[in-house]
Structure 1
Amino acid sequence: MSEAEELDRADLRVRSDIERYGWHVALVPPERPQDPRSIGWGFTIGLTERFGHPEIAVFGMDLRATHQLLNRTGVAIRKGWSLEPGRTYAGLLEGYECAFRSIETCWHSIFFGNAQWHYRSQAFSIIQLYWPDESQRFPWQEGFASEWRSDQPLLYLTDECSALSPALREALEREGAL
């Protein structure tokens, strides 16, 4: 199958999921699954188109959990929830609140190429869902579990050194994304 045919199939799948469910979940596996410093992520495509809501991104969880959380979040939005950056919400992740922050546009082409392709633009809105550590702290809060810091990049920041862990920066540099 040619690259063009693969792109057409992928685009059809995205459009089909948006039509059927209201969004598509795109998953990006970790570059090196055996390396605990290597993270995967997932994001929605279609929430803006169908519900006028920013797309949602989740980093650092197991991909199955990421997929479930993004679908649970999509269902909440379909039911009328409006998730705003800078706020926390209960009911999405059992036993924990989730926080949301806007993602700076400079990260769109690096992490969310499929959404950029779908919207034919880098100018789409996407917010990052952050999950807390076991003490209910988020990555930007004092006392957050340091061993989990590299799991969730701080994409509300524009500076690579502040936003990305060294391992993620190295992986993106190897891929030519940075």
Structure 2
Amino acid sequence: MCEMCGGKTADAVRRDMLARIAKYDYTMVSVREERARDGSWVAPGFVYSVGLWSFHRVPEVIVVGAPARHAVELVQRYAGMAKRGKRFGPGGPYPGFVADGTVMMELVAPGFYAEWFASAFDFYPTGDFPAVQLLWADREQVWPWEPRWARRNTPQPVLTRSGRPESWRVAA
């Protein structure tokens, strides 16, 4: 359940988030998926970091469409590696994130920040932070921009202006 849905005020949620950042150098914000009554997708769930840019000078990271527990694990893994000095640029693949799959990184277009990183503005009021999206392939190693991306998969929009990777080459 979201903290505000549980009765906390927006100010209390903000204070708690800032306290977690002060204690751990970052925090995670999780947004639940949304489905219509007929079960169709309205919006995928997502998890993102807040604080990594300020404390470790690495982009904030967002994982869209993965099951919540898995998305949290991916953000934690990224944060742990970043805190130990690992740096990530656009592209990949990056081994070590998932045992049976592949992940890539893509720069998030700032035009998506307000919608996808809303709580980050409590920590970065001007929105002055870089962000990467950790993209994941399905079990058949198909990426969300490929025509074979299965309809049964959770939507995984690519948060660039074009909706496709832009900062590294993709096979056509």
- TM-score bin, normalised by smaller chain: 0.7 to 0.9
Aligned partner of 1:11 in structure 2 is 14
Distance in 1 separating the partners of 2:36 and 2:80: 29
Kindly report the root-mean-square deviation, in angstroms, between the aligned alpha carbons of the 2 structures. Answer: 2.3
Instruction: Determine if contact 1:14/1:24 at 8 Å carries over to the other structure.
Output: yes
Aligned partner of 1:95 in structure 2 is 100
User: C-alpha displacement at 1:105, in angstroms?
Assistant: 0.8
Distance in 2 separating the partners of 1:117 and 1:15: 8
Please give the TM-score of this superposition, normalised by the length of structure 1.
Answer: 0.77
Please give the TM-score of this superposition, normalised by the length of structure 2.
Answer: 0.80
Instruction: Determine if contact 1:44/1:57 at 8 Å carries over to the other structure.
Output: yes
Residues 109 and 21 of structure 1: is their aligned pair in 2 closer, same or farther, counting only changes over 3 Å? Answer: same
User: C-alpha displacement at 1:146, in angstroms?
Assistant: 4.6
User: C-alpha displacement at 1:145, in angstroms?
Assistant: 3.5
Distance in 2 separating the partners of 1:135 and 1:32: 25
1:128 aligns with one of 129, 133, 143 = 133
User: C-alpha displacement at 1:157, in angstroms?
Assistant: 2.2
User: C-alpha displacement at 1:45, in angstroms?
Assistant: 0.2
Determine helix, strand or coil for the equivalent of 2:35: coil
Gaps in structure 1 of 5+ consecutive residues: 164-178
Instruction: Determine if contact 1:116/1:122 at 8 Å carries over to the other structure.
Output: yes
Q: Name the structure where helix makes up a greater proportion of residues.
A: 1
Aligned partner of 2:41 in structure 1 is 37
Gaps in structure 2 of 5+ consecutive residues: 165-172
Distance in 2 separating the partners of 1:69 and 1:33: 27
Distance in 2 separating the partners of 1:144 and 1:84: 24
